[in-house]
Amino acid sequence: MKVVKKIMAFLLIALGVLFIVYFWNMDQKLMEWAYRRVNEIFDRKKTDLNF
């Protein structure tokens, strides 16, 4: 029974964390931050394409 209680506690904690991430839209905020950092890196690179 101890194992089942530990598994249930873990699942409830995981569900709570996922709900918080969903409720405050943290996944999209993280992706926006990462997208900006990647754009900063690639905007500094010199390109060889001329239009």
pLDDT tens-digit profile of 1-48?
999 999 999 999 999 999 999 999 999 999 999 999 999 988 887 877
Domain boundaries, the chain: 2-43
Is pTM beyond 0.75 here? no
Q: How far apart are CA 46 and CA 43, in angstroms?
A: 8
